[in-house]
Amino acid sequence: MKDLLVGDIGGTNARFALWRDNQLHAVEVFATADYSGPEQAIEYYLADQGVALGEVSAACLAVAGPVDGDEFQFTNNQWHLSQRAFCKHLQIDRLLLVNDFTAMALGMTRLKADEYIEVCAGDADAARPALVIGPGTGLGVGCLLRQGERRWLALPGEGGHVDLPVGNAREAAIHQQLHGQIGHVSAETVLSGGGLLRLYQAMCALDGDVPRHKTPAQITDAALAGEPRAAAVIEQFCRFLGRVAGNNVLTLGARGGVYIAGGVIPRFAELFLRSGFHTSFTDKGCMSDYFAGIPVWLVTAELSGLLGAGVALEQALHD
């Protein structure tokens, strides 16, 4: 039986694994800058695993951006892919390209008990959609629908680019400060790694402070060490995330629960759990009671996108 290959390709790194018995095997991480394209990185990976060209029958790659047609240009790195040329080069019969947040959403179906933390208690309604939202390099937003005992549908979108919601005078002032600098203020403008730095700079400007930190990591470290300014920025970040997540729950009717994924929040999980996220999440006026009983989980798993690519491939081959 031929092998199956899965990949999760971001701006900086690409993760590859063999998919066997519905599980990941031999996960390796490659720097995208070290290879001219995905074919070259995968060829090296397969050789490292002792898998010859022609021994992989199908592959699924999770990629950042809308997937349409044969050609795909990666958003945050120099790679380009033609599906036909890819299959010919690697002697693969079938290539499935999926949006990276489609894979992330499908990865939620494979979480283990120690790979998520309960943020808000509740009982998920399995017949209703679940929301998957993830601040990382950008802000990913997706919807997960159960279609049977072992069948799932992930609906990707561009929800990270909706307008940043404002709930009070302070947030209105922050929005105005950002708008004056960059124009349109999307949710991703703030709710991402780079957005955390942008939020910090905007809050310093509003309060007449000189920014001391130059990277998101420095802000996070300072907040964890108890610096008031950095802690206030993290608190506001969490509150904005609550507003955006709550808006999406209402839009989708996501009583199936909310998964907070991505690489940003786990870096300050303790602060997040103590933050005003829940207050902002449920602050919806006459619809505030709608949120009673909707569970929220913080996902700490590192390979959800790669697992989701495996789930997508498994379902596609079953079809």
pLDDT tens-digit map of 47-93: 999 999 999 999 999 997 778 888 888 877 789 999 999 999 999 99
Nearest to 263 by CA among 184, 211, 178, 195: 195
Condensed to tens digits (0 to 9), the pLDDT of residues 216-258 reads 999 999 999 999 999 999 999 999 999 999 999 999 999 999 9
Residue 140, annotated as binding a ligand: no
209 is annotated as contributing to ligand binding: no
Question: For the chain, percent helix, then strand, then coil, each to nearest 5?
Answer: 45, 25, 30
The predicted structure's pLDDT at residue 27: 97
Separation between Cα atoms, residue 223 and residue 235, nearest integer Å: 9
pTM (two decimals): 0.91
Token pair recorded at residue 108? 């939620």
Q: Are the C-beta atoms of residues 288 and 282 closer than 8 Å to each other?
A: yes
Could you tell me if 240 and 171 are in contact, meaning their C-beta atoms sit under 8 angstroms apart? yes
The structural domains of the chain, ordered by start, are 3-105+304-318 (3.30.420.40), 112-300 (3.40.367.20)
- Residue 167 assigned as binding residue: no
Amino acid at 48: D
Find out whether 226 is annotated in a ligand binding site.
Answer: no
163 is known to lie in a ligand binding site:
no
147 or 166, higher pLDDT: 166
Q: Which residues pair with 15 in a beta bridge?
A: 8, 29
Quick one: pLDDT band at residue 1, thresholds 50, 70, 90?
A: low
* Confidence at residue 319, expressed as pLDDT on a 0 to 100 scale: 75
What mean pLDDT comes out for the span 299-313? 95
Which region among 37-41, 43-47, 135-139, 179-183 has the lowest average model confidence (pLDDT)? 135-139
Task: Write out pLDDT tens, residues 194-203.
Answer: 999 999 999 9
305 is in an annotated binding site: no
What local confidence, expressed as pLDDT, does residue 20 receive? 93
Average pLDDT over every residue of 103-130: 95
